[in-house]
């Protein structure tokens, strides 16, 4: 396996992901517990991640000395390269100007890391993000690539198999970066690329069994991909020690609650409690038009209802959640100071504390597309696995202004038509998320010979890889015209349809 020592970079999980993509198992350990864990792991190679700290000074994070004495290959990335240099006798300094974003490297010498990727004399794009820079390299190393801001953009000691890159090979903005990481794990560490999602599944099942023992687990099903795959995986691991709870908040799309309940009860045979709490939610939302207040209200009632249902089960020790890595990373703050809350996505944040349950989160290290791959591995149906994400507060954040039963009904009808047309056009899987929004604005129209004064419906569709950034989807005019005609003809209450062409940033995906 590969051991990744984490110095706190925002993208450490991307390193793990690239290693997984190369078919190799990896483990991440924080730098401050690496020394004690090292002997138990016995890795074939070590990657030192980037991080927000500065190498300059005494009390800064360091790799355990053993890392450089075990005779295994080491790849230091950004901070990892700097600490490797500092620890092995090189020098790191803070230059006048820092380097963030796209940069170019010039390859000046061969090394095993570049094998089949870069040749001497080549120039290629990389992604830099550093303040300090290496100004002298330890004995035995040579500079194999340079950049304007980093004379030692890549350094190599082929004999010891130590490598360092100032840039980030793990991010997509370094186009050949994944190949460099693949070279490191295959050619330099000599690991075969035979680790797959099937292996992940086996390992995850093992570790769920170990963690849970003969305890009881409850899992809140939302109908979305993450909680569904979590439920199926956990059920495979511990069978009926798992009970799922589905709380219908009255904010789901047309037909959705029925689908979830029948799928889990009838097809997967997973014990499921179905609680229809629509009235509780909708009554509480009455007259509330602030997006954050809506989220908090929905989150609070969800916790109450879930708690009530779960306590009927009795004796549960664990709460299972389909938390993904991007959720984990979004909820912590970084070196730049606490991050600003744009939207309080984590609507059920208080649940485990309140219920005095331990969290079971088998996907904390995975990205959404990896959870989808795992779902396929578990034999789950494509319609479920490839579903677009759906937010916890549901349609409430797609009716700007106050939510009412009437407005939700109008929205459901429009949304159904829109998604039906997207599916018919074969575009569903090209789009990351698509939905209709019912604006609280009425406009004048003319239908037949009469005047109308009805609501505006906005359509949204985006492409994205992780929901953090997104682009609007370029539908044909033909397609937009067809959807708009159908919605206006078939949905009473809407007489105008508009298409949202905002990317994220500066927009967000949802309107609230
Ligand atoms: P935004 O609108 O922030 O959305 O660009 C990014 C992704 O997150 C989803 N989203 C939420 N999910 N609770 C959730 O569980 C929320 O409050 C929430 N708000 C947005 C959104 O649907 C998109 O996939």
- The pLDDT tens digits of the residues spanning 459-491 come to 999 998 878 788 999 999 999 999 999 999 999
What is the band of 343 on the pLDDT scale with cuts at 50, 70, 90?
Answer: low
**Does 345 score more than 60 pLDDT?**
yes
**Does 352 score more than 80 pLDDT?**
no
**DSSP assignment of 123-161, as one string?**
EEEEEEEESSEEEEPPTT-EEEEEESS-TTSEEEETTTT
- The pLDDT tens digits of the residues spanning 173-218 come to 899 999 999 999 999 999 999 989 999 999 999 999 999 999 999 9
Domains of the chain, by residue range, sit at 2-188, 207-385, 404-499
Would you say 227 is a known binding-site residue?
Answer: yes
- The per-residue pLDDT for 146 is 97
Would you say 213 is a known binding-site residue?
Answer: no
Span from the CA of 510 to the centroid of ligand 1 (angstroms)? 6
- The per-residue pLDDT for 9 is 86
Span from the CA of 108 to the centroid of ligand 1 (angstroms)? 45
Let me know: does 271 contact 277? Beta carbons within 8 Å: no
Percent of the chain's residues with pLDDT above 90: 77
Would you say 50 is a known binding-site residue?
Answer: no
Supply the CATH classification number for the domain 207-385: 3.40.50.620
Lowest mean pLDDT among 53-57, 153-157, 397-401: 53-57
Instruction: Spell out which residues line ligand 1, taking CB within 6 angstroms.
Output: 295, 343, 345, 347, 389, 391-393, 433, 467, 504, 508-510
**Does 332 score more than 70 pLDDT?**
no
What mean pLDDT do residues 335-342 have? 46
Closest C-alpha among 302, 291, 212 to residue 252: 302
Would you say 278 is a known binding-site residue?
Answer: no
Minimum-distance ligand 1 atom for the alpha carbon of 346: 13
What mean pLDDT do residues 5-32 have? 91
Peptide bond just before 267 cis, omega within 30 deg = no
Span from the CA of 226 to the centroid of ligand 1 (angstroms)? 14
- The per-residue pLDDT for 348 is 57
- The per-residue pLDDT for 334 is 35
Supply the CATH classification number for the domain 404-499: 3.30.300.10
**To test ligand 1's pocket by mutation, which of 342, 345, 435, 462 has the most ligand atoms within 8 angstroms of CB?**
345
Domains 2-188 and 207-385 share a fold: yes
Q: What is the mean pLDDT of the chain?
A: 92
Distance of CA 271 to the CA centre of its chain: 28
- The per-residue pLDDT for 130 is 85
Q: State pTM to two decimals.
A: 0.80
Span from the CA of 512 to the centroid of ligand 1 (angstroms)? 9
**Does 329 score more than 80 pLDDT?**
no
Distance CA 7, CA 62 (A): 9
**Does 106 score more than 70 pLDDT?**
yes
Minimum-distance ligand 1 atom for the alpha carbon of 433: 24
Active-site positions read 78, 168, 170
CATH class of 2-188: alpha beta
């Amino acid at each position: 396996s590969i051991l990744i020592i984490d110095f706190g970079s925002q993208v450490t999980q991307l390193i793990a992901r690239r290693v997984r993509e190369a078919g190799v198992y990896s483990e991440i350990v924080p730098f401050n517990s690496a020394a004690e864990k090292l002997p138990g792991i016995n890795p074939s190679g070590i990657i030192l991640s980037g991080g927000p700290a500065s190498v300059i000074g005494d009390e800064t994070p360091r790799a355990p000395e053993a890392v450089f004495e075990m005779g295994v290959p080491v790849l230091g990335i950004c901070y990892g390269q700097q600490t490797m240099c500092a620890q092995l006798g090189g020098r790191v300094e803070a230059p006048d100007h820092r380097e963030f974003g796209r940069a170019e490297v010039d390859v000046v010498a061969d090394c095993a890391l570049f094998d089949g990727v870069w040749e001497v004399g080549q120039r290629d794009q990389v992604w830099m993000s550093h303040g300090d820079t290496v100004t002298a390299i330890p004995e035995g190393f040579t500079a194999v690539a340079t950049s304007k801001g980093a004379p030692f953009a890549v350094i190599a000691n082929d004999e010891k198999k130590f490598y360092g890159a100032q840039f980030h090979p793990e991010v997509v903005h370094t186009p050949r970066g994944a190949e460099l990481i693949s070279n490191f794990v295959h050619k330099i560490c000599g690991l075969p690329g035979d680790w797959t999602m099937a292996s992940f599944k086996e390992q995850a099942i093992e570790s769920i069994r170990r963690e849970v023992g003969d305890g009881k687990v409850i899992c809140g099903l939302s109908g979305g991909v993450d909680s569904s795959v979590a439920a199926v995986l956990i059920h495979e691991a511990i069978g009926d020690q798992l009970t799922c709870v589905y709380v219908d908040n009255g904010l789901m799309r047309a037909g959705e609650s029925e689908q979830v309940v029948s799928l889990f009860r009838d097809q997967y045979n997973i014990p499921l409690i179905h609680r229809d709490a629509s009235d509780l939610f909708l009554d509480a939302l009455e007259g509330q038009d602030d997006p954050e207040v809506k989220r908090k209200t929905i989150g609070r009632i969800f916790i109450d209802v879930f708690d009530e249902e779960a306590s009927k089960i009795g004796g549960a020790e664990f709460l299972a959640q389909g938390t993904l890595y991007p959720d984990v990373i979004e909820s912590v703050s970084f070196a730049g100071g606490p991050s600003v809350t744009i939207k309080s996505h984590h609507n059920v944040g208080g649940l485990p504390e309140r219920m005095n349950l331990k969290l079971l989160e088998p996907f904390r290290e995975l990205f959404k597309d990896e959870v989808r791959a795992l779902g396929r591995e578990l034999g789950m149906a494509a319609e479920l696995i490839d579903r677009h994400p759906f937010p916890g507060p549901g349609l409430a954040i797609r009716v700007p202004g106050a939510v009412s039963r009437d407005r939700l009904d109008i929205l459901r009808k429009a949304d159904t038509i829109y998604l039906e047309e997207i599916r018919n056009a074969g575009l569903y899987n090209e789009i990351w998320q698509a939905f209709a929004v019912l604006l609280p604005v009425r406009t004048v129209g003319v239908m037949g010979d009469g005047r109308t004064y009805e609501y505006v419906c906005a359509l949204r569709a985006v492409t994205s890889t992780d929901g953090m950034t997104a682009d609007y989807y370029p539908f044909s005019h033909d397609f937009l015209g067809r959807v708009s005609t159908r919605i206006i003809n078939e949905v009473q209450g809407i007489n105008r349809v508009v298409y949202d062409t905002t990317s994220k940033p500066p927009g967000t995906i949802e309107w609230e």
